[in-house]
Amino acid sequence: MQAFSRQALCAAAPIGVLAFWGGMWMAGRRYPSEYDWRYMTISSLVYPDRNPDGYRWAWAGLILCALGGLCWTTVLIRDWPREVAGRRPIGIWALGLGYFCMVCCALLPERLLRVPKGHEILALSAFFGICIGIVQLTFHAAERSLRLRKHWFLGASRVYAGLLAAIALSPILPAGIAPSYVSRALPQLPWVGLEWRALGVPVYLSFAFWEWITCVVFSAYITGLSTRFRIRRGSRHLSC
């Protein structure tokens, strides 16, 4: 029964990912005008003034995703095999903090946050926490898995694990470079929107495009990691 409970908590993470995409899909369907994900950011879906009929779907997806991630993180914090690394990786705590900030951002009204731009701070904290957690846990899982194979030596396994973890960050770099380039080379353009499509601006210059690609990559890594770090039946140790 205890092992089944752990399995269910681990499964909450990919279920939360599905809830996120389901909520965003419904929010996009209820958007008051055309929604083109390549040129329109996630924020267009989650604010009541921009998406009055669909924003609740977007927030519901975010909340369920964060709660699913917290369930999974709880298992990692409780049952992480300390003999593997001496202590729990900081990535687990960063992941938990990221999901917690995600829940707070979704549930706390603006009037209760007395800090200026409180929602923006919570959103950024959630992003960086989840990002750090994904990168470190990916590195740990890949490095240990390869190290256990006889034909991989320590240096090579760490290089490969580092490359695999770096792929999770790959969409973030163009997401930062693209707006910087546009602000300098094309200062007449407004913030990314459907006007860009009408002007024929390439999608690879759109921040919205890379924002959604980042969500896809993070979703894949979270699903893969939550499956990788599963609970062995009858054991209190996570398999890697």
Q: Does residue 238 sit within a domain?
A: no
Q: Which of 62-76, 166-180, 194-208, 219-233 has the lowest mean pLDDT?
A: 219-233
Residue 231, phi then psi, degrees to nearest 5: -95, 130
Nearest CA to 62 out of 10, 119, 132 is that of 119
**Could you give the CA distance from residue 151 to residue 171 in angstroms, rounded to a whole number?**
32
Q: For residue range 124-149, list pLDDT tens digits in order.
A: 899 999 999 999 898 888 877 776 66
113-127 average pLDDT score: 80
Q: Does residue 237 sit within a domain?
A: no
**Structural domains in the chain (count):** 1
* pLDDT for 62 beyond 90: yes
211-219 average pLDDT score: 95
Q: Does residue 236 sit within a domain?
A: no
Q: Does residue 188 sit within a domain?
A: yes
Q: Cβ(210)–Cβ(180) under 8 Å? A: no
pTM above 0.75, yes or no: yes
Q: Does residue 239 sit within a domain?
A: no
The predicted structure's pLDDT at residue 161: 81
* pLDDT for 233 beyond 50: no
